[in-house]
Amino acid sequence: MQMSEWMDEWDIFDILEIDINKDDTSINIFSKFEKIWANWLINILQKIVNNQIKPYIQNHSLATYCWKISKEDWLINFWKDDIFEIYNKFRAYKIWPWIYCYYDNKKLDIIDCFIINEENLKSNIWDIIKIEYNWKKEIWIIWKWWVLVLKKIKLEWKKETDILSFINWNKNFLNYNFIN
């Protein structure tokens, strides 16, 4: 894109598109770009220098505004966010700063997780349960018929740990509800 005094407003020379899968995190997306952007950029710069490509006006109606990220952006709000918003925050902030909530008045970072659909749940929304699933133990946070499966977490002032180890020294985490 050409430069101006305003951010991202001028004409575009080319756009590099990649496929983003529903479970891609910021790490995966950066890795995808890392593999292809250098050759693409060299090719575009050569075309610009040789006048083989002309800029075109971008469609401002398709533009989005990215605000400055604040601490509240990666805080999980169990009253407002649904499981998809939480998972998308996780995907965006996976490498840093991670998403977090509060448990027992301490910050709890969610380092790794995924979501699954489970139709026959009998728990309340945002309950935490331990379950044997596919022959292994997992910790689930329930949201309607969807589940946020916790894999790794980090409690404030503690080391990052897998969720089952965390449960071993924090039994009251089970059956906890984030909105009660």
- Of 93, 110, 86, which is closest to residue 26 (Cα–Cα)? 93
Residue 153 to residue 149: CA distance in whole angstroms? 11
Residue 170 to residue 153: CA distance in whole angstroms? 12
Q: What is the pLDDT of residue 40?
A: 94
Q: What is the pLDDT of residue 131?
A: 83
pTM of the model: 0.79
Residues of the chain where predicted confidence (pLDDT) is lower than 70: 1-9, 180
Q: What is the pLDDT of residue 6?
A: 58
SS3 label, residue 45: helix
Q: What is the pLDDT of residue 180?
A: 67
pLDDT digits (tens, 9 = 90+) for 1-53: 555 555 566 788 898 999 999 889 989 999 999 999 999 999 999 999 999 99
Tell me what the pLDDT averaged over the chain comes to: 87
Q: What is the pLDDT of residue 70?
A: 84
- β-pairing, 128-133 with 106-117? unpaired
Q: What is the pLDDT of residue 110?
A: 95
Q: Which CATH architecture has domain 71-173?
A: Roll (3.10)
The CATH 3.10.25.10 portion of the chain extends over 71-173
